[in-house]
Chains A and B, each alone.
Chain A
Amino acid sequence: MPKVKAKRHSVSLDMTAMCDVAFLLLTFFMLTAKFRPEEAVTITPPSSISEKPLNTKDGMLMVSVSPEGGVYLATDDQMAREFMLERMANRYGIAVTAEMKKNFMASEIVGYPLGAMRQVLNMKPSEAKKLSKGIPIDSANNELSYWVGYAKLSNPELKVAIKGDKESNYKVFADIIGTLQAQNINIFQLVTGPENKPK
């Protein structure tokens, strides 16, 4: 009887397949990762220990405050956006062309006085950034009040979120709260960054 020769197995494993899977997943995650939408101004909100995530399901009306105190408005409700443009243009006698409407719907935020609306909306959204200095909210000319009013008229379910930069002045925030309270909006979601709870 001949001796059974044990076949020698290689101890090194073929990693090619594993490597393939790893890089496939890597590519997938890199491609599907959503980039932050480009903002006209960079806003760094302060952090808080709150753990409630921002709920954007039922429509959100976001009032942002830049470090310089400019007020910007954004909403994810497309119907409300269209309605706002229509009513605001109507109110101030601005004829809206199809091109202007397209530019309005393409831009994420509203952040200019109505006097500059025609000029801004005739530019490409990327070019119009320089003119976006904020919506006037002073008592003599409170345009934010109208914007919010029309948005709420279109969709009363809209939740109001306020996203202020941590270095923005408190006074701007107080003015916004005052404007919104005048319209009987009393519940605000303050957007903050996450922070660890002490202890």
Chain B
Amino acid sequence: MAEIDSSGGGKKGGKKRSKKMSTKIDMTPMVDLGFLLITFFMLTTTLAKPVTMQLNMPDKTDTKETSPVKLSETLTVCPDVDKVYYYQGIPTEAGTVMQVTNYSETGIRKVIADLKAKVGSNFTIVIKPTKKAKYRNMIDMLDECAITNNKRYALLEIDPDTEALIKRSGK
């Protein structure tokens, strides 16, 4: 059936020898390869499924007063291309300082976690991506909110006050 005549192969001097060669071929590596490929195809067909994160924006037509958020309990983050600006409080106040960090584990994630521990359950993150920011930066920021388990966040357009603050910080 699946036997292969191997008399042509093997050692060079094989023909002269009268030793009878087996006509059966070892199929084990072939089967191994077969199953390896099966496993590969089975795993890759399910692994590449895209996932979604749901983003709920406030209803603009709904004028009902929602729970007010104190500015002192918010952290404003402005994701930029490879860094994140952040400040606490009101942008027009002289005491407000714009600080800068990065997207790493010890960067913005630590800032959020520290402030959340300080402020408590009313902690809100305000996300104002800069004009240069990429889509990836915004997703990263939303992801950070999910990682630090913050359900209170708002996605806003950047305002001139915040832009001026970034400019003033010179970072």
Contacts and interface: CB of A to CB of B under 8 A. Distances in A.
Interface of A: 12, 15-16, 18-19, 22-23, 25-26, 29-30, 33-34, 45-46, 48-55, 65, 161, 163-174, 177, 181-182, 184, 186-195, 197-198
B100 to A, nearest CB: 18
18 contacts: A19-B31, A29-B38, A29-B41, A48-B143, A54-B51, A65-B135, A167-B134, A169-B135, A170-B130, A184-B59, A187-B55, A187-B56, A189-B54, A190-B54, A191-B52, A192-B50, A193-B51, A194-B47
Contacts of A23: 34
Contacts of B69: none
A52 B2 contact: no
Given A189-B52, A198-B105, 20 more contacts: A22-B38, A26-B37, A46-B140, A48-B139, A48-B143, A50-B143, A168-B134, A170-B131, A173-B135, A181-B57, A184-B61, A186-B59, A189-B53, A190-B52, A190-B54, A190-B142, A192-B52, A192-B53, A193-B50, A193-B51
B49 interface: yes
Given A29-B41, A50-B146, A22 B35 contact: yes
Interface of B: 1-2, 24, 26-28, 30-31, 34-35, 37-38, 41-42, 44-45, 47, 49-61, 105, 129-131, 133-140, 142-143, 146-147, 155, 157
A22 B33 CA distance: 9
Contacts of B44: 33
B78 to A, nearest CB: 11
A190 B139 contact: yes
At the interface, is chain B mostly helix, strand, loop or mixed? mixed
Contact of B1 (A16, A30, A34): A16
A29 B45 contact: yes
At the interface, is chain A mostly helix, strand, loop or mixed? mixed
A16 B2 contact: yes
Nearest to B2: A16
A87 to B, nearest CB: 24
A177 to B, nearest CB: 7
B135 A168 contact: yes
A194 B51 contact: yes
A45 B130 CA distance: 20
A45 B38 contact: no
B42 to A, nearest CB: 6
Nearest to B61: A184
Contacts of B55: 187-190
A172 B42 CA distance: 37
Given A15-B27, A26-B38, A30-B41, A50 B52 contact: yes
